Structure 1
């Protein structure tokens, strides 16, 4: 890793690495970073609910857990008759399970009661003794008559999985408020000057190389008024996303201490959503999701998965593919997928996401709200999308192809051959508002 490609810390922040404006200016769609067009699956596996942000039950080292032959995942959900744009206001975490990694079943809501007015994304740990810990974001203050946006990181303990007669996940659950922003390293809501305030998306990770136990999360870096960050440009300082970090000194899944952030994006991007790490070949691959509309003025990004790599978890991160862009939607379907989550499988890295708005090529998602409600419903996927296949080598990645909707391969499952030319043909920008079918369903 050369000095020219290393990240740069931002003035007034404590992150060792930063996503710089120079790096982000290199963002562009290429054959290696554009995903195939997505079409609705032949059958909606869980038609009763909208499904979006999803995470898997994992072991301490990040590998996907297999519990007596079952794969297990958790998703934010809302009733499927609700207008999709309203789903975040009533988000409920549900559990799903599968015996073959293709057909998934709804195990229902995880909690009878949880902290916050509603729950946003997190992660789940299957611990060595069979205990299940569920980390989530408590959004809003319970008891308030108005919808509020305070965010706290919560851990729920007490979960157990029983497979004696099918699959059952139950408590009793105990909810623990784990982390709140300190106002110094991580911005509090009242400090926020930007478009969006964030302190959410906890993600558990035990470092296979060191045995240290970490919790990553999305946050914002405080930039005091009058700071010389971004040359003193207040308009750029409002875009202050960061990847936060907490450490468990004992490995206890419920004991955490705030640490300095892993990465900041002051002057680049407001939201570094759902941060997570894939440890591979002795390197740490840090992935985040972000939106077109959260990039700072003067930068053109996409709704996409972005990534960085370092030789240590708290190292100096280099943006993958020079710019950070790893996987994005085609130009003629720019919002078809979102909320990507990467995980290792054999020689590849696989990437799961949810099927967002398709058959739509507007410049911003705000335009969705101007469509008739029937069209808003029709164009929203609201389920797991196809699983992307990535080749990852050093600081370079490329999309190899895609598996079907909801296809999360089992351990040791051999993947089919890829067809890069098919992807290129399906992503041509001149194929109309929705492109040519690529055969990836």
Structure 2
């Protein structure tokens, strides 16, 4: 097992910096960037950050399986890998006869491949057996000089008799990919290793967790083109224990302690990693910063995550959305994109239509793929899905890829330009049609306010910028993504 626990601490409270600034110094001068409550309070839907309604899938190429979190095979430089003319995608999948909210308990990683970026083929499940955890959640895939490294989240203890929710970062290597004119085949044997577990100092352990959700997952490989340094990003929680003198409201907010973790490989070895302090934290802002990844454009580093409405801390809120930050260097100060961090979200008429966004560069744009979630549901919270008849739950759930978003990035600002068809991942030399944003919802159609509520954890999250969440009569059941009828706590695994 390749695992290193750091010895330096950031501070007695487990977080650095203040709400006005962005960084606090930690470990060798690396700055801890922060997503602040002041920034998050300015989140609002507007023309340029809201996708158009997607509606039901026009074509579902794989109707027998639910498909959600998806990532592309990339090389060390972050480019989409070409394997003898094919490009590969990996997805979390489950049988389509399951209720959508049950899919996380049986998630397995499956491979798909395409030559033209529009017609995709199913290569089947990646692992026959031997994968770590009771099930596998999202990660990333590296193709390096013909070798495959499949990073994933090992969820649950495979030795336990009951379902458990511990999370650790793992890798599978040693398998082979065979590509011919007829298609692509992945085969073992695979060697599975645990790479990282939370250290309790920089990254909260499951036992330390006080929040609704515990996270240590979503590994993403990144090699800095400027320095050649090799990193593994992941989602975690920064320790934010109760402090003497804090009132109940402040103490409650500190349970929302998401962070973007980072490990480094000093040698560049894809199997050898040492933990470093978080790249960015969102203590008192948000509990989950899911699927962190970086796109380098015009010499800047665009750091993207996705998050849910129900994981915002009391007093601030934002929709299910892609959020982002930008820095002039990977170890520099990350600033919230567009001032608030909001990059792209769903329309008010379908606030949960897509999730688990993943961005990649294409020509002068950034493209964003995601999966089609509950595209035909306008409720305030996904909690209400469980109250629907089972047939309605299935009919309103997409379980396939959503339309690809087109994003313009310029400095600290982004704006949506339009969409491509679902399952369209353009080839590197493919020109895109003109787009001017005219297909997007207008400000008049949006109204700006984030109206949906997140009742999980016993709080209603009010309109963007509202002060102080109103406590509901609901029970705070300490939800940790248990894969029940509603998947709102774990959609982005």
TM-score of the two chains, using structure 2 as the length reference: 0.83
Match in the other structure for 1:151: 167
Q: How far apart in 2 are the matches of 1:230 and 1:50?
A: 44
SS at match of 2:105: helix
Flag the 1:229–1:77 CA change in 2: closer, same or farther, 3 A: farther
Q: How far apart in 2 are the matches of 1:361 and 1:73?
A: 30
Aligned 1:287-298 pairs, distance under 5 A: 287-298=304-315
Match in the other structure for 2:111: 95
Greater CA drift, 404-413 or 166-175: 166-175
Deviations 1:278-336 (A, max 9, x none): 01111110000000000000012110000000111121110000000000001111000
Q: How far apart in 1 are the matches of 2:93 and 2:251?
A: 37
Match in the other structure for 1:196: 213
Q: How far apart in 1 are the matches of 2:318 and 2:349?
A: 15
Aligned 1:62-73 pairs, distance under 5 A: 62-73=78-89
| C-alpha displacement of 1:21 | 0.2
| C-alpha displacement of 1:421 | 2.2
Match in the other structure for 1:217: 234
CA RMSD of aligned residues (A): 2.0
**What runs of 5+ residues in structure 2 fail to find an aligned partner?**
1-17, 448-493
Q: How far apart in 1 are the matches of 2:104 and 2:431?
A: 37
Structure 1 residue ranges, 4+ long, deviating more than 3 angstroms after superposition: 3-6, 8-11, 227-232
SS at match of 2:438: helix
Q: How far apart in 2 are the matches of 1:328 and 1:159?
A: 37
Aligned 1:293-372 pairs, distance under 5 A: 293-372=310-389
Indicate conservation of the 8 Å contact 2:134/2:154, yes or no: yes
| C-alpha displacement of 1:211 | 0.3
Indicate conservation of the 8 Å contact 2:354/2:402, yes or no: yes
Indicate conservation of the 8 Å contact 2:48/2:440, yes or no: no
1:394 to 408, 411, 431: 411
Aligned 1:109-188 pairs, distance under 5 A: 109-113=125-129, 114-127=131-144, 129-164=145-180, 165-188=182-205
Q: How far apart in 1 are the matches of 2:53 and 2:244?
A: 43
Q: How far apart in 1 are the matches of 2:103 and 2:365?
A: 33
| C-alpha displacement of 1:423 | 1.5
Match in the other structure for 2:297: 280
Q: How far apart in 1 are the matches of 2:352 and 2:286?
A: 18
Q: How far apart in 2 are the matches of 1:32 and 1:233?
A: 34
Flag the 1:426–1:32 CA change in 2: closer, same or farther, 3 A: closer
2:35 to 11, 15, 19: 19
Q: How far apart in 1 are the matches of 2:226 and 2:55?
A: 40
SS at match of 2:282: strand
Flag the 1:228–1:156 CA change in 2: closer, same or farther, 3 A: farther
**What runs of 5+ residues in structure 1 fail to find an aligned partner?**
431-441
| C-alpha displacement of 1:119 | 0.3
Flag the 1:140–1:347 CA change in 2: closer, same or farther, 3 A: same
Q: How far apart in 1 are the matches of 2:22 and 2:199?
A: 25
Indicate conservation of the 8 Å contact 2:69/2:370, yes or no: yes
| C-alpha displacement of 1:417 | 1.2
Flag the 1:204–1:229 CA change in 2: closer, same or farther, 3 A: farther
2:71 to 42, 55, 79: 55
| C-alpha displacement of 1:27 | 0.3
Match in the other structure for 1:235: 252
| C-alpha displacement of 1:143 | 2.5
Indicate conservation of the 8 Å contact 2:19/2:36, yes or no: no
